Amino acid sequence: MLIQFVQIAALLAVLKTAHGSPTTRFAPHAIVHHHPSHLHPEYDYVNIGGGTSGLTVANRLTEDPRVSVLVIEYGYLDNEEAGTTLPGLPVPDKYVRTEESVPQIGLNGRTSQFKTGAVVGGMFFNRGSAEDYDSWEELGNPGWGWKDLLPYFKKSETFTPPSLQIANEYADIISPDLAPHGTNGPQEPKSNVKASREIILAAGAPYSPQILQLSGIGPGNLLEELGIETIVDLPGVGSNFQDQPTMFMQYTYSNYPYPSPEWLTTNETWTNEQLSLYYHNRTGPMTVPFFSGTLVAYLPLQNMTDESDRILHTASRVNTSSLLPINSDSTVLAGYHAQTQILLDRYRSAHTTVQEVAFGGSGSVPVALLKPLSRGSIQINTTDPSKTPLVDFGTFSHPTDLEIAVEAIKKTREFMSSVPMQETGATEIIRGANVTSDDEIAAAIRNFARSTWQHPTSSCSMMRRELGGVVDPSLKVYGVQGLRVVDASIMPLIIGSHTSSTVYAVAEKAADIIKAAQKH
């Protein structure tokens, strides 16, 4: 089946090589339209989603002046407010879409908010380990291992050498992301537009499976329940959903040696001084991601705890089939089992990180579980495309995740109890130093952890179809011609870091794959 038509609504960003008056913030060949009536009836490519991956692919495809690409974005174009251009300030709420998950059994029935529309959180630009990407290849994706992806990481980066004063540090500067921020745009009349070559779905991990399911591509039983004609029965659409559960520990400091990040929101005089400093010479705290700081540790399991052998032995005996919904397709179960075996092997490595702890100097110290064994899902429960799908993170559905989370809290306490940190008078206030036993810590985690580090992935996984995969190594959707998925949802396994740089690399590689396909 050839997908040729898509419904368009709200804000439209067009990248093409025809006439028009491009805005200065976009590529020279970019034209921005705000109404469907301004569009051509047909483009070579139609990209659904104007985020990191969607615009990267569009930019590369339009390097050929004969190629036209329509990028459809549901959100706003920002007005270059300080919160969208200064790392040290929060992104305005207008540009961040906030939704709620379904109640999480592993969090004692609590829900978790998740956010999209801000360049996958936009906090750190770092890669996973080589083993993270080699695991993708091990799951049946030739050409997606570390050695093949590395050139695309480099292609998406602009490196600025360090000054003499910081010669032992480095700075990777992300090429400007042209994405409109946010997803709460005005509703417009529906129109049709034709893609003469391909449609590229880049709506992000929560929404790409939603669009596929609404289009009749997904689990047949789900589509049948909603009265949607099944075009392709593809059980993996919306399955294998992954994110990084996070615990925010809280501290007070009685002897703080320098201004706190909280001053940026509580001390107007100091904040204005720092804004002036930033605009004058691009220095000061405004250069640091808001409340994230520059100190972050990534730890493998063996460096995090002396209990790693015991944890892995217990994990190897867990029946993974019992952890997914009872109606899960056999292909999805097979894929989960294969992934679990790879992850347990990687957990033994000194090169695979499982914990992140970020210290930015504020009272909040986030501790993230980077490569969980638990799996969630994305499922529609209505045919109304304006409604958010049911987002289930499946937090702590695999018991090993909670064990590792307990060890992560203990390791963070060890760091906060070190001599340098104690010189600041650091005192844990939530959940408190009186919570000490593993059982007490586990109970506390269930009551205060969040399901997400704002890095949703893997809901349209690149795996073999018999493993519950949705796209092949060329990112083509199984059973459909002319349709690819290019965003974080294709990652079969979440990486042990933040995801933005990997999404850029995936998009860069995808652009080359698409270009090569058109030559044949």
Q: Which amino acid is at 490?
A: I
Residues counted in the chain: 520
Q: How far apart are CA 69 and CA 273, in angstroms?
A: 44
Query: Using an 8 Å Cβ cutoff, are 111 and 101 in contact?
Result: yes
So which residues are the catalytic ones? 455, 498
Q: How far apart are CA 139 and CA 225, in angstroms?
A: 31
Does 21 belong to an annotated binding site?
no
Does 497 belong to an annotated binding site?
no
Does 424 belong to an annotated binding site?
no
- What number of CA atoms fall less than 13 Å from residue 46's CA on the CB side? 22
Sign of the CA dihedral running 30, 31, 34, 36:
negative
| 162 secondary structure, DSSP code | P
Residue 99's alpha-carbon distances to 228, 242, 452, in angstroms, are 25, 16, 12
- Which among 79, 55, 59 has a CA at the least distance from the CA of 17? 59
Q: How far apart are CA 32 and CA 17, in angstroms?
A: 12
Q: Which amino acid is at 419?
A: V
Q: How far apart are CA 335 and CA 494, in angstroms?
A: 14
- Which among 339, 283, 324 has a CA at the least distance from the CA of 135? 339
Query: Per the annotation, where are the binding residues for FAD?
Result: 52-53, 119
Query: Per the annotation, where are the binding residues?
Result: 52-53, 119
